[in-house]
Amino acid sequence: MSHVFAVTSAKGGVGKTTAALALSHGLARKLEQAGSKESVLLVDLDPQGHCAPCLGLQPERCAGELLLGHAHPEEIIIRADRSRQSGPSRPNLYLLPATGHLAIARMQLLADIVAEALLAGVGRLSPGQPSYLVKRLQDLFADLRQVFAFVVVDYPSPLDLFWEAVYHGVDGCIVPVKADYLSAKSAIEHWTRPADQKVEALVPTFVRARQVLSEQTLQELTRHFGSKRLSRPIPASVRVAEAPAAGGQTIFEYAPNSAPARAYWNLVERVYDSKV
Ligand SMILES: Nc1ncnc2c1ncn2[C@@H]1O[C@H](COP(=O)(O)OP(=O)(O)O)[C@@H](O)[C@H]1O
Ligand SMILES: [Mg+2]
């Protein structure tokens, strides 16, 4: 049984990519520790393509080619293992990378949805309507489910029609929320809609101990979502920001005993234990 998660949020700069990297690498390590031969795939659906450099990788091809049907997954997916180049060993972690090409692919796909709706005489596009893009993503995720035990999608804001199609295809969402007023407000406005049954966990990020605003934000999030849906807060820490800059390491490689590594590991175990 395979599981597909999106790490996403309506706001930028809240720690989505950081959480997607930690979650995918942590799940890969959990499988390894359990003696499993199964693998994890990190899918970068942000045209900024930051997952690759954060893992020390330099891809040439892009997830956009897959979405447009111009390539097969095995042509684009790369290994995150760098042990042969004297880098970190990640035997069961893989990346479907993004490059700037993804921005063009996204525009093309959204144009196709609008054209499809016009041809069908649909006056107004509704979220999750059966469309070419929903079908394409469902087919893609179905192919990936055959190969990987976990698929973790790094999905950027804005949460537009493209997101609606991705949302349709994933099993659950992990939502990082920065511990400040506007990030919490945006999370509360966006993720308490009736449609959001898929929220697996909200992850408070950039949390500062003994800072009044951080504490107030955590209380506000707990009040709205309940303590069960909140995962352990990730502290603000320069170690998190240093890890990708240190030759593309994850937090578990760069500072395995740090407070943020322990907090991310807690998220990994929560997701792993609920699914395996
Ligand atoms: N807990 C943290 N403490 C300090 N810096 C962090 C933390 N989480 C993320 N960062 C840094 O903040 C920036 C934005 O994080 P990122 O994961 O790229 O956000 P997003 O993907 O939501 O835009 C990055 O430079 C990242 O290294
Ligand atoms: Mg990002």
- Residues 6+ positions from 10 with CB-CB distance below 8 Å: 157, 158, 159, 186, 187, 189, 190
pLDDT band at 114 (very low <50, low <70, confident <90, very high): confident
How many A from CA of 143 to the centre of ligand 1? 31
pTM reported for the whole predicted model: 0.95
Domain residue ranges of the chain, discontinuous segments joined by +: 3-275
Region of 121 (left: φ > 0; alpha: ψ -120 to 50; beta: rest) is left
| C-beta of 237 in contact with ligand 1 (< 6 A) | yes
pLDDT band at residue 184 under the 50/70/90 scheme:
very high
Give the model's pLDDT for residue 54. 98
Measured CA to CA in angstroms, residue 196 lies from 40, 46, 133, 172, 237 at distances of: 25, 22, 20, 9, 30
Ligand nearest to the CA of 13: 1
Question: Residue 69, class by beta-carbon neighbours within 10 Å (0-12 exposed, 13-18 middle, 19+ buried)?
Answer: exposed
Render pLDDT for 201-253 as a digit per residue (tens, 0 to 9). 999 999 998 899 999 999 999 999 889 999 999 999 999 999 999 999 999 99
CATH number, domain 3-275, options 1.10.10.60, 3.90.110.10, 3.40.50.300, 3.30.2270.10: 3.40.50.300
- Residue-level pLDDT at 135: 86
Determine the average pLDDT of the residues in 159-181.
91
From 8, 46, 55, 240, mutation site for ligand 1 pocket: most ligand atoms within 8 A of C-beta: 240
Mean pLDDT of the chain: 92
Question: Does residue 11 register a pLDDT over 80?
Answer: yes
- Ligand 1 nearest-atom number relative to CA 9: 22
